[in-house]
Amino acid sequence: MNTIIERFDKIKSNISKINNNSSVKVVAVSKTFPLSHIMPLINYGHDHYGENKVQEADIKWKDIKKERKNLKLHLVGKLQSNKVKRAVEIFDYIHSLDSQKLADVLSKSQNEINKSINYFIQVNIGNERQKSGIPYNEVDAFYSYCTKEKKMNVLGLMAIPPNDSNSEKYFKSLSELNASLALKELSMGMSSDYMDAIKHKATYLRIGSLIFGERS
């Protein structure tokens, strides 16, 4: 069996030990890897993939997405306003909705091509200056703006805990905030901490190196 498939099956097995229903989705973060490296997992039947750069995703995925209608592409990196139009065309999910300006441009772009994108609001859960995201205490108002004024389909919240921290306390905090907004989906957990994220009701895990190997 292909090593990538073995790693993927191991992750799925670990997930089932904590959450044995099918609600948890693995977004296989394939950034920097060529399509040839990803194809074994596509052929295995996995549908959800993550990229962090619009241009790379466009080149890599535009043809195969036309062939394989079941494939779903997630933008898991920061989105610049000048890349929004192409991002809306190629991505199905955007996990980095992090400002009112971006919400305005995304809403306009998706309406122009009559496409509904699934969004996660990025929360600056650790209140870090160097990280993007909506401050914790402003999420409620921003969520209302996106959904009521801009009519955007916000599935849930997303966050990346500080690198030097115990992720679990931040996952707990984000999960509580997500529940307070009555949101059903939650994007958190990566290769190093996805098991902790599942314990706190994560439904979308963004896992890269644990599936595809270390990036060069």
| Per-position DSSP letters for 152-174, written without gaps between them | -EEEEEE----TTS-HHHHHHHH
User: Two tokens at 101?
Assistant: 């300006």
- Look at residue 126 in the predicted model and tell me its pLDDT: 87
CB under 8 Å to 41, separation ≥6 — which residues? 4, 5, 8, 28, 211
The pLDDT tens digits of the residues spanning 39-90 come to 999 999 999 999 999 999 999 999 999 999 999 999 999 999 999 999 999 9
Beta-sheet pairing, 153-158 with 185-187: parallel
CATH number at residue 11: 3.20.20.10
- Look at residue 51 in the predicted model and tell me its pLDDT: 98
Q: Are 31 and 39 in contact (CB under 8 A)?
A: no
- Dihedral of CA atoms 103, 105, 109, 111 in degrees, nearest 10, equals 50
The whole model's pTM is what?
A: 0.95
CB under 8 Å to 214, separation ≥6 — which residues? none
**Residue 118, domain extent:** 3-212
Spell out where the chain has E strands: 25-29, 48-51, 72-75, 93-97, 118-124, 134-135, 153-158, 185-187, 204-207
Q: Which helix (H) or strand (E) element contains residue 132?
A: none
- Look at residue 214 in the predicted model and tell me its pLDDT: 86
Local structure of 106: helix, strand or coil: helix
Q: Are 27 and 15 in contact (CB under 8 A)?
A: no
Local structure of 80: helix, strand or coil: coil
Domain total in the chain: 1
Ranges of the chain with pLDDT below 50: none
